[in-house]
Chain A
Amino acid sequence: MARIEFEKKVLSENDRLAAAIRKDLSERKIFCINLVSSPGSGKTSLLERSLGVLGKEMALGLIAGDVQTENDADRLKAAGGTMVRPIVTGGACHLDARMVTDALKDMPLERLDLLFIENVGNLVCPSSYDLGEDMKVVVISTTEGDDKPLKYPGMFRRSSLMIVNKIDLLGHSEFQLARVKENARTINGDLETIELSCRTGEGTRRWYDWLRQRVSQKRV
């Protein structure tokens, strides 16, 4: 019996592809966000609204991942997205860098300013897979438990911004804004927070400004 050293990252192939995506997007000065959340937190609604406002001032690309159906991609196209690419994972609970590489092949990257990757609704599995994004943005909504950051620390640690959606429903559930922020701060003291409602539009301006700022920083 021999014990041999064999050092290899299990996801090294994914990491290699993600690094290639990151390099390509950086050279083209495209700011890229990997949007993650539980199912039903409002990722697609957030993107629909963002398309309507930001789509007028910059070129947005969207990759919409779903386990089954292209419903989200269809919604985003209906909201005015001209550069929307669906990824149907066929059962896989996350997107990986191979899927994103393939989706980017027929995306007109030379025209893009901002690329959104809408991950599969899941706060566990997507956290292991680097997609070559600049930042992960995690969406949580007021109809969920405010202890989600504690339950899914891997994802909240890796995210740069937490969006708290559905603030128009605050008070209709046990969810407390102060508590979710404190829980998030315990896990990740550097996590920024933006509260908004995709339904009423309240708070969305801060989100657009946050994006505009990052897109212009990336251009420099």
Chain B
Amino acid sequence: MHELRIAENIVSSVQEEMRRRGSSRLRVIGLRIGELTDIVPESLEFGFNILIADTELAGARLEIERVPVQGHCRDCDCEFEVRDLQFLCPNCGGRSIKTICGQELDICFLEIEESIKGEGKTTEVWPG
């Protein structure tokens, strides 16, 4: 339900960055989303596509990397991947587990076509 609001935050952050760079064409927004964030990627993409439909970002897509949950046992200091939401230390059976990752909700990269100032042209920095 709140994915649309999250998508709005992403769109406005990216629009600001595009303006700052003087870039015109966005292809991809790379996102890192932890498994513990209660974000449904499909809903996020759905909201994102609606928001950008009639904007300069139209045609851009999200590339979402899901980050598995990693825990740190406060009792024995061991680190492990938390599977099936079992926050239980595999080493000592401890239950006091700190979440090291899995709560991310980050933008990490953009793929853009950069235009050269004054010439109004688009340069292909990378092929493809």
- Chain A residues with CB under 8 Å of chain B are 1-13, 92-94, 122, 124-125, 127-128, 150, 152-155, 157, 185-190
Closest B residue, CB atoms, query A14: B9
A190: chain B residues within 8 A (beta carbon): 95-96
Give which listed residue, B37, B87, B125, contacts A189 with CB less than 8 A.
B87
Known contacts A6-B108, A190-B96; is-contact A1 B125 (Cβ 8 Å): yes
**Contact A187–B106 (Cβ < 8 Å):** no
In the complex, chain A residues whose CB is within 8 Å of the CB of B106:
7-10
CB distance from A131 to the nearest CB of B (A): 14
Question: Is B81 an interface residue, CB under 8 A from the partner?
Answer: no
Chain A-chain B contacts (Cβ-Cβ < 8 Å), number: 103
Write 23 A-B pairs (CB below 8 A) sorted by A numbering. A1-B111, A3-B110, A4-B110, A6-B14, A6-B17, A7-B106, A7-B107, A9-B107, A10-B6, A10-B10, A10-B107, A12-B13, A92-B5, A93-B1, A93-B2, A94-B2, A124-B38, A153-B85, A154-B37, A157-B87, A186-B85, A187-B85, A189-B88
The docked-state distance in angstroms from the alpha carbon of A155 to that of B37 is: 9
Q: B103-121: contact bitstring with A at CB < 8 Å (1 yes, 0 no)?
A: 1011111111110000000
A13-B125 Cα distance, complex, nearest whole Å = 32
CA gap between A12 and B104 in the complex, in Å? 12
Closest A residue by C-beta to B73: A189
CB of B9 within 8 A of CB of A13, answer yes
Q: Are B9 and A11 in contact (CB under 8 A)?
A: yes
A185–B6 CB distance below 8 A: no
Query: Which of B1, B31, B105 touches A125 (beta carbons < 8 Å)?
Result: B1
Q: Smallest Cβ distance from A43 to chain B, in angstroms? A: 19
